Amino acid sequence: MRVRNRLRHSLGIDRAIAFTILARGWASVAGLVTVALIARFLSPAEQGYYYTFGSLIALQIVFELGFSFVILQMASHERAHLTISPGGLISGDPVAHARLASVLQKTVRWYTSAALLLAIFLLAAGSHFFTAHQHENVSWRLPWYAAALAATLTFQLDPILSFMEGCGFVPNVARLRLAQAMSGSTLAWLALGLHHGLFAPAMIIAGNAGVASIWLFRKRNLLMALLRHDPGGSRIHWWSEVWHFQWRMAVSWLCGYFIFQLYNPVLFAFHGAIVAGQMGMSLSLNNALGTVAISWINTKAAPFGAMIARREYAKLDHLFFRSVKQSFAVCAAGAAAVWIVVIYLNWAHSPLAHRVLDPLSLGLLLLGAPLNVIIFAEATYLRAHKQEKFLLNSVLAAILVGSSTYFLGRSYGARGVVTGSLLVGLLMGLPLGTYTFVKYRRIWHAA
């Protein structure tokens, strides 16, 4: 009990963060196992396809339109005025009840329609890309089709999980993420061990979908009651109340693709599958580190929204700044550890050293991770106010990072890509993000 209280107060680890850290810790450790299995069972060219699958699957952001974060914030603002019993019964303000039901109903309608469009888009776009840039004799078609269809299923489930987080089930969803991580990794290892390694991305996604479906089925009383509830005149008017926020979120999230996901397709197209595979494995290590670090931030998104709804700004700021310090420290320490390990692998002439970027390029990539933690935290804080003020930041970053990735990546390969991205973060991303954060925090909290 004493140890648990010390963790809660000194490190800010509550149940939600604990489960999130366990899920992402598992993903990080499992990622190392996956890296070893990839090196054992996939050729360097197949490794490039493996990671480029993930970059193309991320194109689902075109259809997601930032909706999941909007759903979480809308639900958390209405949930602040309601009580939900363990059995799923809702009591409290009837207007908030109606508006909460309206959020879920609109979510289900949009994602059901968008999922069909997503399936068609991913199948067609991926087939065209890999056919146009096929560098090796790799059988990619069936694995790609399986990954695309599995992604379509999770595309429909993830926004409902965001809704449940907004309803106060943050620790529950965090525990679910742990089960998803374990299930997906296990299925991926099975595919790799059976020499069907390119099916591993599809198995990871399918594992996530299966676990989420089981958990949501157990919450069917709450969900079905909200879907059947007539919001009447209290329904959310999306165009007048939300769209002004969501379209900015949509543009920001779309820009995120050019900032974080363009590396592999560009390197795959200009330098081949092997170089893309080295970048992909390096990015997986970098992203695993980042996702663990931001656990201190993104598990607070729903509580941030509830505090804002109650105008508890002092409490909000205390929680936010403490979480940012903890998140930054974890990220910086983790980046240093990863870099030292890779330097050792090169010194020891380990075969694994050739599956990632060289130490200098990897070091430049890892330097950007703590910067991204700060920028992500600032954006999360402002978006919890149901406002999107990072639109200009995202557009500028997408233009600059996308351009540098294309031109420097084409001419200088992976090192050019990571150098350009780091310079954009240092000279534009962090300064402009901090200015935007300070400006609007002062304006909104003074009102």
Provide DSSP, 357-389: --HHHHHHHHHHHHHHHHHHHHHHHHHTTT---
Measured distance CA(37)–CA(346) in Å, rounded: 19
Beta carbons within 8 Å of 90's beta carbon, 6+ residues apart: 82, 83, 84, 97, 100, 222, 225, 226
Average pLDDT over residues 20-46: 81
CA distances from 356 to 19, 105, 159, 406 (A): 29, 45, 33, 20
Split at pLDDT 50, 70, 90, the class of 4 is: low
More confident residue, 391 or 430: 430
For residue 159, which of 65, 298, 62 has the smallest C-alpha distance? 65
Provide DSSP, 388-406: ---HHHHHHHHHHHHHHHH
Q: For 39-95, what is each residue's pLDDT tens digit?
A: 889 988 899 999 999 889 988 887 877 778 788 888 888 888 888 888 888 888 888
Average pLDDT, the chain: 87
For residue 77, which of 379, 334, 384, 288 has the smallest C-alpha distance? 384
pLDDT of residue 183: 93
For the chain, first and last CA: distance in Å?
Answer: 42
More confident residue, 362 or 260: 362
Q: For 148-157, what is each residue's pLDDT tens digit?
A: 999 999 999 9
pLDDT exceeds cutoff 60 at 389: yes
Measured distance CA(368)–CA(123) in Å, rounded: 32
Provide DSSP, 187-231: HHHHHHHTT-GGGHHHHHHHHHHHHHHHHHHHTHHHHHHHHH---
pLDDT of residue 447: 62
Q: For 277-304, what is each residue's pLDDT tens digit?
A: 999 999 988 988 888 888 888 777 778 8
* The residue to which tokens 């109606």 are assigned: 98
CA 48 to chain centre: 21
The predicted model scores a pTM of 0.75
pLDDT of residue 439: 93
Measured distance CA(35)–CA(189) in Å, rounded: 10
